[in-house]
Amino acid sequence: MATEEIFIGRQPILDRSQQLFAYELLFRSGSKDNFANIHDNLSATASVIHHAFAELGIEQALGPNKGFINCDASLLQSDMLEILPTDKIVLEILETVELTPQIVERCTDLKARGFALAVDDFVADESKWQPILGLIDIVKVDLLQLDREQLGTVTNALQRWPLTLLAEKVESREQAEHCHQLGYHLFQGYYFAKPDIMVGKRLCQSQLALMRLLGLVLEDAETPMLEGIFKQEPGLAVNLLRLTNSVATGVRGRVTSLKQAITVLGRRQLQRWLQLLLFTNPAGDSQVASPLLQLAATRGRFLELLAGKLQPGASELEDRAFMTGIMSLIPVLMGVPLEEILKGIQLSGDMNEALEQRSGRLGIMLHLAEALEADDGEICHLLTSELPGADHMMVNICLTQALAWAGNIGREHC
């Protein structure tokens, strides 16, 4: 049997504090239909799940977060679910599943095995799900199918059960705030994965200092020039010393001066730290801005890993790829146009083409990262075919490794 080309997609699920709670893992084929053919090719799906967890390392990539997996009737009844880690996986029962006695019995068994169960795309048919609502941990309410009054009615009905309510397909700040007020615990949707630019926001002084520092590092400026910027920003200086002392090896005693810190850390690691710090509170502690930091860090690392696979040993290309991924989300984070941000930074021509036009090799790679985030298997297939030497397995491996790397940000000392 030929191997089916399937890409792994993922979408963040947030808690009430907008911190990352889980990822929904989505298997999408490169066909025009853009879905994993579970009904007609269960063995192919089994292979995908095996590769994802046993070989690609999705379990590791999830970090402390859970992973939601869509299950139709065939998948629910298959033995392959039993190879999955029960403490990491939420089985998401699709709305198309008919609750036959066999399905109810299987759900009871899976629950007893330790799996968390969720209902997908819930609209209003509480009676349909009545046989298993006592087993269900999470109900995903489809906002696109409900007006404000209907949402209130559905929510009140579900709140009679000991359930965690998840608002899915959240597309605006108003929807998110309304569901928050209604008591929803979890949130998922385009609004969180692709936040709109906030008009009128301006860079704070610490962010401006970061941009100047990043420009100087890229231009390989002398250490005294970097020191001068750090001295104007006490918060940045303290964070630099903390970082250096946490990662320094082979250094006798503690690093106590900015000059020493810059030297010990090295320009490449300093560049990475500055890029990632743009997505945190520059003047304060290292609490990350989730999920945007996760998305930016994953995107940057994915591009870097893919560049390394496509052109081994080209560290400069890897650096440019990483920064392209990070820079592509800075306008969203800061709420200012890309051209304003780039005023103080000189980027290479291929980076400018990638960021502004999604053209060139870096541009194709960036577009591919965005297609993975958008769960568009057909576009992933087309873009992968435009990168000589790339295939779906390489893309999936790079993505899962990037997820694992990004998941460590905030749990370790950067």
As annotated, the residues of the chain forming the CATH 3.20.20.450 domain(s) are 6-193
Q: Output the pTM of the full model.
A: 0.71
Instruction: List the one residue out of 121, 96, 120, 118 whose CA is nearest residue 107.
Output: 118
Query: How far is the C-alpha of 368 from the C-alpha of 385, rounded, in Å?
Result: 11
As to burial, measured by CB atoms within 10 angstroms (0-12 exposed, 13-18 middle, 19+ buried), residue 363 is buried
Query: Strand (E) positions, 164-273?
Result: 164-168, 186-187
Mean per-residue pLDDT, 387-402:
91
Which of 35-49, 203-217, 238-252, 273-287 is most confident?
203-217
Report which of residues 369 and 259 the model is more confident about.
369
Q: Cα–Cα distance between 27 and 29 in angstroms, integer?
A: 7
Is the pLDDT reported for residue 32 higher than 60? no
Closest by CA to 323, choosing from 410, 236, 222, 214, is 214
* Arithmetic mean of pLDDT, 65-71: 87
Distance (Å, whole) CA 46 – CA 3: 12
How far is Cα 413 from Cα 37, in angstroms, rounded to an integer?
A: 42
The pLDDT of residue 288: 43
Q: Mean pLDDT across the chain, nearest whole number? A: 80
Q: What's the mean pLDDT in 148-154? A: 93
Mean of pLDDT values over 342-370: 87
Tell me the percentage of the chain whose pLDDT exceeds 70. Answer: 78
Write down the pLDDT at residue 92: 92
What per-residue confidence (pLDDT) applies to 247?
59
Least confident of 5-19, 173-187, 294-308: 5-19
Cis status of the peptide bond prior to 195, with omega within 30 of 0: no
Q: Where in the chain is the domain with CATH 1.10.3210?
A: 195-414
CATH class name, domain 6-193:
alpha beta
Q: Please give the pLDDT value at position 413.
A: 39
Contact 48, 30 (CB under 8 A): no
Q: Residue 345: pLDDT above 90?
A: no
Which top CATH class is 195-414?
mainly alpha
What does the pLDDT look like over 96-110, one tens digit per residue?
899 999 999 999 999
pLDDT score of 137:
96
* Residue 290 near residue 20 (C-beta atoms within 8 A): yes
Residue 388 has pLDDT above 80, yes or no: yes
Q: What is the mean pLDDT of residues 112-118?
A: 95
